[in-house]
Amino acid sequence: MPATISPSLPLHTLLEMESISTLSTVRRPGLKGFSALDPGLPVLASEVAIDIDNILLGKSDDRTAMHFLAEKLSQAMEPDDADCHLPYRMDMATFTVLGDAISEAVWEKGSKDILALLEITNKIKAVLISDQSSNNHSDLEKARSFCVALSRAAAAYSDSIRNLHPSHPYRR
Amino acid sequence: MPTLQNAQAQVVSFLDEIDRLEQSDFPYAHPREALALLKEVFKDHQRLLSKLTVSTSADVLHNTCQQ
């Protein structure tokens, strides 16, 4: 489902609505799409980083979270026919978070326009979705760095939006 | 490893507190449901922390414990 922003609601209200509906639902099959507003994103990215680390250390080969994140990235990169035939389904905030994560992880230097970002995201998705035999060490290390950076960037973004909302005067 | 132990201890404390609060009387169902949701969140954090070991890379360890 594309991340749609209703102009009639403030962003922090939207974030709270998202929080209520997706709190700890990282594995809920019905939760679709890749959005910076998804409160489960920092935890999911963090889990993928742990799983990749464990694969690199030869401790386990659990790729469930990796495939889940890859699926979310896939959904975000499906063409959005309903909205001006855009080649993706991401809002600008999500692009910013994704771009920050890619820059921090130094996946690839070069152009940072949207199409370049989509291309790099596709490469990351390919690493996340691949099976044991086709991964090389360097790609997994890059994917791990990306996931750590994505987790940090998504958490920082959520915090910044949450801080826009003044706390209740009776709150201790 | 102190970072990991501290994070694990904090999560255990939160879960203990939730267990304690669950014993209270709630006049309405919603606060109890909210507690159940919070418990799920902290259980999820506990599950993630249990995947970390002494050989986990520093970046991954610190990022997970920070959450």
Residue A132 lies in a domain: yes
Note whether residue A12 is domain-resident. Answer: no
Spatial separation of the C-alpha atoms in residues A161 and A30, rounded to whole Å: 25
Asked whether residue A6 is assigned to any structural domain, the reply reads no
Is there a domain that residue A3 lies in? no
Of A39, A22, A26, the residue nearest A158 (C-alpha): A39
Strand positions, DSSP E, A65-139: none
Residue A80, in any domain of the structure: yes
Our count of domains for chain A comes to 1
Which pLDDT belongs to residue A2?
43
Token pair of A147, please?
């996931």
Tell me whether A49 touches chain B (CB under 8 Å).
Answer: yes
Tell me, yes or no, if the pTM score tops 0.80: no
Cross-chain CB nearest to A46 (options B41, B55, B63): B63
Percent of chain B with pLDDT over 90: 55
pLDDT of residue B54: 84
* Better-predicted residue by pLDDT, B32 or A23: B32
Mean pLDDT, range A139-156, rounded to an integer: 91
Would the CB atoms of A144 and B40 count as touching at under 8 Å?
no
Residue located via tokens 């499906």: A78
Domain that holds residue A138: 30-164
Task: Flag if A43 and B45 touch (Cβ within 8 Å).
Answer: yes
Cα first-last separation, chain B = 16
Of the pLDDT bands very low, low, confident and very high (cuts 50, 70, 90), residue A107 is low
Distances, alpha carbon A104 to alpha carbons A33, A111, A150, B31, in Å: 23, 14, 9, 40
- Burial of A149 from C-beta contacts in 10 A (0-12 / 13-18 / 19+): buried
Q: Where are the domains of chain B?
A: 2-66
Average pLDDT, chain A: 75
Q: Is residue B46 less than 8 Å (CB to CB) from chain A? A: no
Closest CB to A148 among B37, B52, B63? B63
How confident is the model over A49-75, as a mean pLDDT?
88
Report the residue of chain B nearest A51, measured CA to CA: B51
Confidence of residue A84 (pLDDT cuts 50, 70, 90): low
Residue A68 belongs to a domain = yes
